[in-house]
Structure 1
Amino acid sequence: MDSPLSAEAARTPFGPQAPAPCRTHLTDIHDSRRGRSLPLKLYLPDQPAPAGLILFSHGLGGSREGGSDWLSHWAGLGFAAIAVQHPGSDTRLLHKQSPLALRKAFREAMNPEELARRADDLRFVLGRIGRKGSFPEAINGVSRIGLCGHSFGAVTVQLLAGERRPDQRTEPVDPRVGAVLALSPSARRADHGPGLGHRFGQVQLPFFSITGSRDDGMGLSDITAENRELPFRHMPPGDKYLLVFAAGTHLDFAGQASAMEGSMFHIRRKVPVFRDNLLAASSAFWQAHLADDADARRWLTTTLPGRLRPEDRFETK
C-alpha cells in the first residue's frame, strides 16, 4: 500500500503531490507500575511546530508498524504521531501457529481484560506527553491530540473518547484530546448492559468512523459490516461523521497489513481504489478538528461527498 497519490488527490488541499518528508524513530517506554514495556514508533514532521499529535492503536496481531500508510501521510501534512504496540494482542499472536490456532488466539485475545490493558497503554503514553525527557520537543510541545485506531484499536480509542462499557472503568477524557478517528469501529455485544444509547451517549468529541461494506470480522467474531456503523448511529449529534467505502474489506483500513495476515485471511492486499479519498477525508478531519481549519471543515462536508463514488456513503450529524 505504498503507491503515490493520484492526480485527483494531489489537487485537493489535503492530498500533497508527493509525500512530504518526515522522520521516524523507534523507541520503547516502560510502565513500572504495571511492569509493561510498550514499543513505539514516532512520526516527526519536517517542521518545528506540528499542527497536532495523533496517537494510533493497532488491531489484533498488529505492531507499531501498523497504520504506517496513514500516519506517514498525516505527518507529511504537519501532524506528529505515535504508533503504540500493545503486548498481548500484537504480532506475537501470529507466530508459529496454524490458521485454525491463529483464529482461536485472536478470539481469546479479544477480551475485556486485554481491552483494559490497551486503554491503559494509551493513557500511560498520554501521561508521558509533555514531560521533560519523555519525547522529542516536537511531541512534548503539542497542545492538541487526536486518537486513532484500527479494529480492536478502534474499540480502544472508543473507550478513551467516552464510550461506557459495563466491563470497563470510566475515566475523564484527557482535555488535550480534540478529535477521534476510528477505522473499522464496532459495538459488539449490543444486547449486554444498558444499551448502545447509554454506551455512546457521552461521546462529545468530533468522531469520524471509516469502514467498508465488506468490513466484517474476518471470521473471528460476530462482527458484521453493519455492526461497524453502530457507534456512529448511537453517538449524539455534533461533528460526527461516517464514511462507508463500497467493497472495502477489513485489512483495507489497517494502513499496513502483513503478508501473514493477508495469506491467513485470504484478503486482497493491493491498494484499495478508495485510498486517495480515505487519505483526503481523514486529513481534512484532522485539519478541521485538531488545527481548527475552517476551510478543511467546509471541504469535508461540501466537497468530499462529490469526490466519492456513487456506491460510497457519507453521513454527518
Structure 2
Amino acid sequence: MIRRPFVVALLAFVLTAITLIGPARTQSLSNEPGFRIVDFDWVDAARSRPVPARLHWPNEIAARDPASKARVPLIVFSHGMGGSRRGYSYLARYWAERGVASLHVQHVGSDRSVWTGNPFTLVQRLHSAAHESEALARGLDVRFALDRVLSNDAGPYGARIDRQRIIAAGHSYGANTALVAVGAGVMREGRRIEAKDPRFSAAILISSPPFYGEPHLASVLEGVTVPSLHVTATEDIIRIPGYYSPAADRLAIYNAISTPRKAIAVFQGGSHSMFTDRAATGGRDLNPKVKAATAELALAFLDLVYDGDRTSMTRWNARWQPIMALSPGAPSLLSPVARSRGLVQATN
C-alpha cells in the first residue's frame, strides 16, 4: 500500500526529534457496567501533529480477579485507511469487559478526513495518505500515544497498566502500523528506516496489506521478533480507488515473518471490511460471527503468549471451526477456494 520513496532527511529529523507535549483535552464519555470510555486529544508538538485517542478501560468489576489490584494488559490499536479512534468498538468492548484495556489511536494524515472533500481528488488524497512518510508518522503516533497513556498526563490509568503485557494491534493499514511498531522497516539509501518500540511484546495483525511495494518482505519484516497473531479471510481483498491487493497478500506477510512464534486464522469467505464496525459486509450471517470470533481469538492468543495456557485456544478452535479455512494451531486444511487464491498453509 506504501510505494513512494522516503525523504530521508525529513525522516531522520522526525526520528530524532525530542517529543514535546502540546495541549491535551481529556473527556470521560461513558461508564458502562463493564468498562469506561475516555477520549484524549493529545498533540505531539515536535511534529505539530494531533494524536487523538480513545481508551476503553475495564472497571474493577470486569477484572479477571476483582478482589486484586492486578495490572491491566493494554492493546494499542491502529485503524485502517479512513478510520478513526471510534472504530473497532466491538473489539474494544469485548476486551474491556474481560479485563483488557485498549487504546485506539487516530492518525490524522490517513483518518476519515480522506473520504471528505472533492470526489475528483479522492485518489490523490488516498495516495498521499499511503505515502511512506505517513506510514512512519503513524508508527510515531503509536509511540507518542503509548508514552502519554503511561504517563501522569492520562490520569490514573498509566500506573495500572502491565508494562510486560503491551500489545500492538491494527487492521489493514493499521496492521502495517502495528508491524512498524514491533520492528518492520525498509532500507533506503543504505540505512534502515523504522520506528520500533521495544515496549510492545506481542502483535495482533488483522488483514495486513503489502509493505512499501517491495518484493522482498523477509528483509522488511526481519526485525519482527515478538509473537504475532494474523487474522484474515479467503475473500479478504482490498479494493480502493487506485489500489488492489488480493487475499494472498495477507498470507505473504505471515510467511515472511521468520520467528516461529506466530499463528494465523483464515476465515472462509468474508471480506476485507467485515473486520471494521460495518455490519453485513462479508455476509449478514458471517459478519457477526467473524467479529465475535476475532475478539475472542485475540484474548486466547494472549493467554497462550503470556501464560502458556492453551485452554482458550483449544476451546476457540472447537467453537469456530465451522467458519474457518485455517485455524491457529489446528491441522485443518484450506478449502479448494482458498488454495485457488494462493492461500497456502504455513507451519504455525
Common topology (TM > 0.5) = yes
**TM-score normalised by structure 2 residue count:** 0.74
Counterpart check, 1:293 vs 2:307: yes
Change (3 A) 1:311 1:26: closer
Q: What is the match of residue 58 of structure 2?
A: 45
| 1:155-187 residue CA offsets vs partner (Å, 9 max, x unmatched) | 01111111122357224432x312100111122
Give aligned-pair identity as a percent: 27
The whole-number CA distance in structure 1 between the counterparts of 2:122 and 2:318 is 41
SS in 2 for 1:180: strand
Change (3 A) 1:104 1:124: same
SS in 1 for 2:270: strand
Equivalences for residues 9-20 of structure 1 within 5 A: none
1:55 Cα deviation (Å)?
Answer: 0.6
For the Cα contact (< 8 Å) 2:202–2:227, is it kept in 1?
yes
1:231 Cα deviation (Å)?
Answer: 1.6
The whole-number CA distance in structure 1 between the counterparts of 2:53 and 2:111 is 12
Structure 1 unmatched runs, 5+: 1-18
Equivalent residue letter for 2:141: D
Q: What is the match of residue 237 of structure 1?
A: 259
Of the candidates 111, 118, 125, which is equivalent to residue 131 of structure 2?
Answer: 111
For the Cα contact (< 8 Å) 2:176–2:211, is it kept in 1?
no
1:197 Cα deviation (Å)?
Answer: 1.8
Counterpart check, 1:139 vs 2:140: no
Q: What is the match of residue 14 of structure 1?
A: none
For the Cα contact (< 8 Å) 2:56–2:103, is it kept in 1?
yes
Q: What is the match of residue 173 of structure 1?
A: 197
Equivalent residue letter for 1:279: A
Of the candidates 18, 22, 29, which is equivalent to residue 42 of structure 2?
Answer: 29
Of the candidates 81, 91, 95, which is equivalent to residue 60 of structure 1?
Answer: 81
Equivalent residue letter for 1:227: D
Of the candidates 293, 296, 305, which is equivalent to residue 280 of structure 1?
Answer: 296
Q: What is the match of residue 144 of structure 2?
A: 124
Of the candidates 303, 307, 312, which is equivalent to residue 315 of structure 2?
Answer: 303
SS in 2 for 1:149: strand
Q: How many residues in Structure 1 have an aligned counterpart in Structure 2?
A: 283
| 1:92-140 residue CA offsets vs partner (Å, 9 max, x unmatched) | 1122443x654553233211011011111111112224322x1132334
Change (3 A) 1:272 1:104: farther
1:68 Cα deviation (Å)?
Answer: 1.0
Q: Is the radius of gyration larger for structure 1 or structure 2?
A: 2
For the Cα contact (< 8 Å) 2:75–2:101, is it kept in 1?
yes
Equivalent residue letter for 1:138: Y
Counterpart check, 1:186 vs 2:209: yes
SS in 1 for 2:90: helix
Change (3 A) 1:310 1:118: closer
**TM-score normalised by structure 1 residue count:** 0.80
Counterpart check, 1:206 vs 2:230: no
For the Cα contact (< 8 Å) 1:23–1:45, is it kept in 2?
yes
| 1:219-275 residue CA offsets vs partner (Å, 9 max, x unmatched) | 442311110111210112332011111112111112x23x9xx9xxx8767744333
